[in-house]
Chains A and B, each alone.
Chain A
Amino acid sequence: MPKEPVAVVGIGQTKHVAARRDVSLAGLVREAAVRALQDAALTWADIDAVVIGKAPDFFEGVMMPELYLADALGAVGKPMLRVHTAGSVGGSTALVAANLVAARVHRTVLTLAFEKQSESNAMWGLSLPIPFQQPLLAGAGGFFAPHVRAYMRRTGAPDTVGSLVAYKDRRNALKNPYAHIHDPDITLEKVQSAPMLWDPIRYSETCPSSDGACAMILTDRTGADRSPHPPAWVHGGAMRSEPTLFAGKDFVSPQAGKDCAADVYRQAGISDPRREIDAVEMYVPFSWYEPMWLENLGFADEGEGWKLTEAGVTELDGDLPVNPSGGVLSTNPIGASGMIRFAEAALQVRGRAGEHQVDGARRALGHAYGGGAQFFSMWLVGAEPPTR
C-alpha cells in the first residue's frame, strides 16, 4: 500500500530573541503550538500525537523535558515521542512526525522543537570534559573553522564570500518578523570589519544564541482538504548519519549529506535541483556553509558553490534564493533551528512567507545538519500533492 501523503497545514513560531524572560519553557512551547493550531484552524482535541525535539538537555538543565512539557502541549492521554539527533534534530523531529502520518498510524500530529538557551549556558552544555573531546576545540566555531579553511583552499574561493552570505541573510531577516537579529543599519563593510573569532570566521558570520520554538501540524489527505489555507505537501524526506571522525571523512562535503539529498530528490522526482527547486532553507550556522552546502546538496558542481553566492544567485530576488527567512545566521534556538528550516520551506510553497516570500515558489528544500557534520535531515515540500 502506498504511503499516505503528508500535508503541513499549520505553522507557528515564537518571536526569537536572546532571552524570553517573560515565559517558562512550557509557556514558550505552548506559544508556538497555539499559533500552529490557529494557522490550521484546529484545536488540541484534533491532535492525535505529539513529537517533540530539541538539542542536548544540558542546554536548559532539564532531563527529558518532554515529561514536564506533556501538559503544556496537550499531550496528556496521547502518544508523545522525544527525538534528539544533535543540530539536525528539528528536521529529524518533523520527519518522525511525518512518518506517523505517512504510515497511517495517526492522522494529525503536532510536531514542535525548541531551545531556551537563556535558561542555562549553551557553551557549558557543549564543553565536554577530556577525554571525551580534544582539548583544542573551542565551541562549535572552533570545530568548523578548519573545515571552512579547507573549503577555501580546495576551491580557491576568495575570502570575501563568507561576508556576502552574512550580509544577505541579515538583510533577509529584516523582512521576517520572527527573526532574532534585526539590524536595520547592516552594511557589507560592517560585516567585513567585525572581529575575527575563529579565522576565517568573523563574529558577524556566526549564529546568535536564541530562545525560541517552532511548531507544525502535519496531517493526511482528508485533513488537508479541511485546511483553511493552502497546505505544503511533503514530496520527500530522509535522514543520514555517519561517524564523527574516521579516516577518509570529507568534512567539507560529507557523504551523509550527499546521500541524504540524493534520497530526497529520488523520492520527489527531482533530477536537476538547481532548476527544479525554487527556494532553499539551508542550515548555515557559519556563513561559509552556504557555498559548501550548495555543492553538497547538488546545486553546484564541486568547487563552484561560492560562484553562485558571489553572483547573487542565492539572494532573495536571485535565481535560487537561499535562506529568505534570514536563516540560522539570524535566528538560532539550536534544537528548533532545523525545524524552522523545514517550516520556512513549507511557508514558501504555501505562499505564506510574508515579506520574505519568494515569488512563485512551488518547491522548496528544508535542510538541517548536526554533530560533527555527521547527522543530516532534509525534506522537500511542494505546493501540489505528490503524484508518485
Chain B
Amino acid sequence: MRDVAIVAFAQTDHLRRTDELSEVEMLMPVLHQVLDTTGLRTSDIGFTCSGSSDYLAGRAFSFTMALDGVGAHPPISESHVEMDGAWALYEAWVKIQTGEADTALVYAYGKSSPGQVRDVLTRQLDPYYTAPLWPDSVALAALQAQALIDAGDTDEAALAALAARSREAASDNPHAQLSGAVPAGDYLVRPLRTGDCPPIGDGAAAVILAAGDTARALCERPAWIRGIDHRIEAHGLGVRELTESPSTRLAAERAGVFERPVDTAELHAPFSSQEVVLRKALGLDDRVRVNPSGGALAANPLMAAGLIRLGEAAARIHRGESDRALAHATSGPCLQQNLVAVLEGESTHA
C-alpha cells in the first residue's frame, strides 16, 4: 500500500439556511482554501472526487453544476459518489493506490434547508414496503435510542450529558452551527429530545490527499491514512440488532484501529444515542477524546458531515494535537453503513 495523507482541510461555517448562496457559491471558498493551503492549482491535481445527493438539491444531476466551481478545463480526471464525501475520499484513496494519481481533491456539500429533511430522508427507505409509511429519520433514531435504553446501555440523562459535552466542545469550533449551553429541549420523538438531535443546516467541506513525498512537501505534518475500510449492513431494521454496529466494528478491524490505542476519535453520530453505539463498537473508553470538534450534534451538513470527521481528525494531527486519530462516517438509517479510518502523524510511525 502507498502512504497517503490528508494534507489540507477546509469547511464552511455551517448555517441553518443559505438561501442567498447556490451550491457552487457555497463550495467555492472551501475549494480555494484547500488549494491555497497547498499551493496547488486544479490542473496540478491528479484525481478529483465529490459526494453529494440530488435529493437534497431537489434536482437531478446537481453535482454537474458543482464541477463548474472546480474549474475543470482543461478536462480533469474526476468522479462522483451519491454518498457522503467520506466515500468520495475512499474512492480517491483507491485511485492513488493504483499509482494513477499522486494527489486528489475531494469535496462534499449539502443544503438541507430547501426541503423538509426529515421527509426527504424517508425516501432512502425500501420503496415498496417502508417508504410509503414515511417513517422519518428522527423516529427511526428514536427506535434505536429506546432499544439502547431498554438494553441498559444508556438513559436519557446520560444522553443529555453526552449532547452537552459535544456542544461544549464545539465552543472552540468557529464553523459549528450549535455550540455552548444548548438546552436539552422538549421531546422531538420519545426518548429523543431536540438536544439529542443534530441541527439541520447547510455546509460544504474539501480535503486534499497526497502520496508519500508529495504529501511531505505540501504539509508540515501530514495526517497519514494508516487504514481505511467501510461496511454495510442489512437495510431492514427488523433484521438488525440496533444496539450494536457490527459494520463499524468490522471496518475498524480492517482499518487497524485495534492495533494500538487512538488518542482522538471523530465520530459521525448525528444523534446522541448513536455515539453510545459507536463507542461500544469501537471499544473507546474515557481516555479517548471523542468529537473535540463537537461532532454532528454541533453541525450536520448532510453528505459533508462524514468527510468533515476525516478532516477534523486530520487537522488535529496537522496542528500536533493528536498522534493517532480515528475518523468515522455513517450513511443510511440507524447507522446502516459505516466507514472507519485511522490517521497518524509522522512521529508515531518510526
A-to-B contact residues, CB < 8 Å? 1-3, 24-25, 55-71, 75-86, 92, 95-96, 99-100, 102-105, 119, 125-126, 128-129, 132, 238-246, 249, 254-256, 259-260, 371-372, 374-375
- Do A56 and B60 contact each other (CB < 8 Å), given the known contacts A71-B234, A99-B95? yes
Please determine whether A255 and B232 come into contact, CB atoms closer than 8 angstroms.
no
B83 at the interface (CB under 8 A from A): yes
Q: Which residues of B contact A374 (CB under 8 A)?
A: 64, 67
Name the residue on A nearest B95 (C-beta): A99
Give B251-282 interface residues, CB cut-off 8 Å to A. none
B283 at the interface (CB under 8 A from A): no
Please determine whether B64 and A64 come into contact, CB atoms closer than 8 angstroms.
no
Please determine whether B79 and A67 come into contact, CB atoms closer than 8 angstroms.
no
Question: Smallest Cβ distance from B12 to chain A, in angstroms?
Answer: 21
Please determine whether B55 and A244 come into contact, CB atoms closer than 8 angstroms.
no
Please determine whether B73 and A63 come into contact, CB atoms closer than 8 angstroms.
no
Please determine whether B246 and A241 come into contact, CB atoms closer than 8 angstroms.
no
Please determine whether A77 and B76 come into contact, CB atoms closer than 8 angstroms.
no
Please determine whether A61 and B123 come into contact, CB atoms closer than 8 angstroms.
yes
Q: Give A59 to B124 CA distance when docked, in angstroms.
A: 14
Give B237-252 interface residues, CB cut-off 8 Å to A. 246-247, 250
Contact with A along B216-243 (1 / 0, CB 8 A): 0000000000000111111110000000
Question: Smallest Cβ distance from A47 to chain B, in angstroms?
Answer: 13
Q: Which residues of A contact B247 (CB under 8 A)?
A: 77
Please determine whether B73 and A64 come into contact, CB atoms closer than 8 angstroms.
no
B138 at the interface (CB under 8 A from A): no
- Do A259 and B74 contact each other (CB < 8 Å), given the known contacts A58-B54, A62-B131? yes
B65 at the interface (CB under 8 A from A): yes
A-B pairs, 7 with minimum CB distance: A103-B97, A256-B75, A56-B60, A241-B78, A84-B82, A63-B123, A63-B55
Q: Which residues of B contact A60 (CB under 8 A)?
A: 127
Q: Give A96 to B77 CA distance when docked, in angstroms.
A: 12
- Do A255 and B250 contact each other (CB < 8 Å), given the known contacts A56-B61, A70-B235, A71-B234? no
Name the residue on B nearest A132 (C-beta): B59
Please determine whether B124 and A63 come into contact, CB atoms closer than 8 angstroms.
yes
- Do A86 and B234 contact each other (CB < 8 Å), given the known contacts A3-B98, A105-B97? no
> Count of chain B residues with Cβ under 8 Å from any Cβ of A?
59
Q: Give A240 to B73 CA distance when docked, in angstroms.
A: 10
Q: Give A105 to B99 CA distance when docked, in angstroms.
A: 13
In the complex, which of the residues B73, B79, B124 contacts A68, with contact meaning CB atoms closer than 8 Å? B124
Q: Give A80 to B84 CA distance when docked, in angstroms.
A: 13
Name the residue on B nearest A374 (C-beta): B64
Please determine whether A244 and B73 come into contact, CB atoms closer than 8 angstroms.
no
Give B12-71 interface residues, CB cut-off 8 Å to A. 48, 53-55, 59-61, 63-65, 67-68, 71
- Do A86 and B64 contact each other (CB < 8 Å), given the known contacts A63-B124, A81-B87? yes
Please determine whether A80 and B80 come into contact, CB atoms closer than 8 angstroms.
no
Q: Which residues of A contact B120 (CB under 8 A)?
A: 63
- Do A68 and B77 contact each other (CB < 8 Å), given the known contacts A79-B230, A79-B232, A84-B82? no
Q: Give A254 to B74 CA distance when docked, in angstroms.
A: 11
Q: Which residues of A contact B76 (CB under 8 A)?
A: 240-242
Please determine whether B94 and A100 come into contact, CB atoms closer than 8 angstroms.
yes
In the complex, which of the residues A76, A129, A249 contacts B234, with contact meaning CB atoms closer than 8 Å? A76
Q: Give A64 to B55 CA distance when docked, in angstroms.
A: 9
Q: Give A95 to B100 CA distance when docked, in angstroms.
A: 12
Question: Smallest Cβ distance from B88 to chain A, in angstroms?
Answer: 10
Name the residue on A nearest B233 (C-beta): A76
Q: Which residues of B contact A25 (CB under 8 A)?
A: 127
Please determine whether B67 and A67 come into contact, CB atoms closer than 8 angstroms.
no
Name the residue on A nearest B229 (C-beta): A79
B332 at the interface (CB under 8 A from A): yes
Q: Which residues of B contact A3 (CB under 8 A)?
A: 98-99
Please determine whether B231 and A79 come into contact, CB atoms closer than 8 angstroms.
yes
Please determine whether B80 and A96 come into contact, CB atoms closer than 8 angstroms.
no
Q: Give A136 to B101 CA distance when docked, in angstroms.
A: 40
Q: Which residues of A contact B71 (CB under 8 A)?
A: 243
Please determine whether A58 and B60 come into contact, CB atoms closer than 8 angstroms.
yes
Q: Give A57 to B62 CA distance when docked, in angstroms.
A: 11
In the complex, which of the residues B48, B68, B126, B231 contacts A78, with contact meaning CB atoms closer than 8 Å? B231
In the complex, which of the residues B64, B83, B94, B126 contacts A371, with contact meaning CB atoms closer than 8 Å? B64
- Do A77 and B125 contact each other (CB < 8 Å), given the known contacts A63-B120, A96-B91, A102-B98? no
Q: Give A132 to B123 CA distance when docked, in angstroms.
A: 23
Please determine whether A240 and B78 come into contact, CB atoms closer than 8 angstroms.
yes
Please determine whether A67 and B77 come into contact, CB atoms closer than 8 angstroms.
no
Please determine whether A129 and B91 come into contact, CB atoms closer than 8 angstroms.
no
Please determine whether B65 and A244 come into contact, CB atoms closer than 8 angstroms.
yes
B179 at the interface (CB under 8 A from A): no
Q: Give A82 to B87 CA distance when docked, in angstroms.
A: 9
